[in-house]
Amino acid sequence: MINSKDFFLALDQLEKEKKIDKEFFISALESALVSAYKKNFGEARSAEVKLNPEKGTIKVYAYKTIVDEVEDPDKQISLEEAKQIKSSYKVGDIIAEEVTPKNFGRIAAQTAKQVVMQRLREAERENLSTELNSKGDQLTTAIVRRKDATNVYVELSGTETEGVLGEKDIIPGEKLEIGQHIKVHIKRVRDNGYGAEVQVSRTTPVFVRKLFELEVPELVSGDVEIKSIAREAGNRTKISVTSKDPNIDAVGTFVGPRGSRINAVLDELGGEKIDIVRYDDDVFEYIANALSPAEVISVEINQEAKSSKVIVPDNKLSLAIGKEGCNVRLAARLTGWKIDVKSESNNAKEEQSKQVQEFTSRFDNDNPDNDIDIFEDIETI
């Protein structure tokens, strides 16, 4: 018998500190001792470990089945030998014999320790993965701990877990310093065989949504809603919003008094521009709103191709298109419609040219020999 009251007290402490059920540790220890016992006293022997936390004891039992003729001494015992232990035994009964090793030895003890530690790591990984997965798509605070050529490694707040910011998850142009506190979006949690690998990001549209949830209580309560987000991290983000209450101005709610709410988000994004766009069920209005801050004269749509042509004042063309096409590209992603932007004068020229072509085509089709007739008339004159 092994007296292990201190061991069970340690299990109680681990349960409190690691938040891992003590029963899990007991099960791990049972497996460890069975494994160590078989390794030292024969793989073929049937064994079971019984633990008594109240008494602080661990006992190992070997089991043998009573038979008329013994074929496997490790698992069987003759009826004659069994009756010497207890006269009431009969064929088919199972005898339990305590075989608790008093001197397991260094190898057996190390084997048990390895199995217990392995189970402990597994339990911690499982608990951590469960906890982090419950935070999926959540925003959390993290501390920058180290960097390499492509990744930034952060410690997630409230845990000792390391999160990884990949190259594409870092806002272009931002410089993250060791020890800096930042907010990150928990994007994915997976077990890589060594522990929980947590992939976090600062470039996803969800990251912006979660930042606004911190600043706009009406968004959390459901009084206002984000319909869509289109983002090019480090450059510009467009968000379409709406309100279920006609008395609530959705755009104003997100901007906040004197821009306080949107400015708090902008501070976290390091200067990335944000356009708060009013959502509209009318696709004409929605597309026009999506091109904000540009002014729109008219919108034409092709329902079948889900495409549109938008006319803007000449002096607003560059604003509507945006730097390197960013504004119109984000507006298209926000609305789900292809958008072709034309200046008013260029559109007028195109329309005039189109009318001339249509007239010429119609004229030529109706009178293919008209040009010859005209020249003949001139010669006659």
Question: Do the domains 204-279 and 282-381 sit in the same CATH topology, yes or no?
Answer: yes
CATH, domain range 282-381:
3.30.300.20
The most distant pair of C-alpha atoms in the chain lies apart, rounded to whole Å, by 144
The stretches of 135-256 forming alpha helices (DSSP H) are 205-215, 217-221, 250-255
Q: Which of 44, 38, 31, 26 is nearest to 99 (CA)?
A: 38
pLDDT given for residue 381 in this prediction? 39
**CB of 60 within 8 A of CB of 37?**
yes
Provide the residue ranges of all domains of the chain, joining segments of one domain with +: 2-127, 139-201, 204-279, 282-381
Instruction: Return left, alpha or beta for 256; rule: phi > 0 is left, psi -120 to 50 is alpha, else beta.
Output: left
pTM above 0.95?
Answer: no
pLDDT given for residue 122 in this prediction? 72
User: What CATH homologous superfamily does 2-127 map to?
Assistant: NusA, N-terminal domain (3.30.1480.10)
102 by DSSP, 3-state: which? coil
Cβ of 305: how many Cβ atoms within 10 Å?
Answer: 9
pLDDT given for residue 365 in this prediction? 57
Q: How far apart are CA 232 and CA 55, in angstroms?
A: 64
Q: How far, in Å, are 21, 58, 91, 303, 316 from residue 279 at the CA level?
A: 50, 68, 82, 19, 22
Q: Which of 324, 221, 226, 318 is nearest to 274 (CA)?
A: 226
CATH, domain range 204-279:
3.30.300.20
**CB of 218 within 8 A of CB of 248?**
yes
34 by DSSP, 3-state: which? helix
**CB of 311 within 8 A of CB of 297?**
yes
CATH class of the domain at 139-201:
mainly beta
Per-residue pLDDT of the chain (381 residues; tens, 9 = 90+): 444 566 677 777 767 776 667 777 777 777 777 777 777 766 556 778 777 777 777 777 888 899 999 988 878 899 998 998 889 999 999 988 877 776 654 555 566 667 667 777 777 666 666 666 655 568 999 999 999 999 999 998 877 788 999 999 999 989 999 999 999 998 887 766 666 678 999 999 999 999 999 999 999 999 999 999 999 999 999 999 999 898 999 999 999 999 999 999 999 998 899 999 999 999 999 999 999 999 999 999 999 999 999 999 999 999 999 999 999 999 999 999 999 999 998 876 666 556 556 656 665 555 555 544 444 444 443
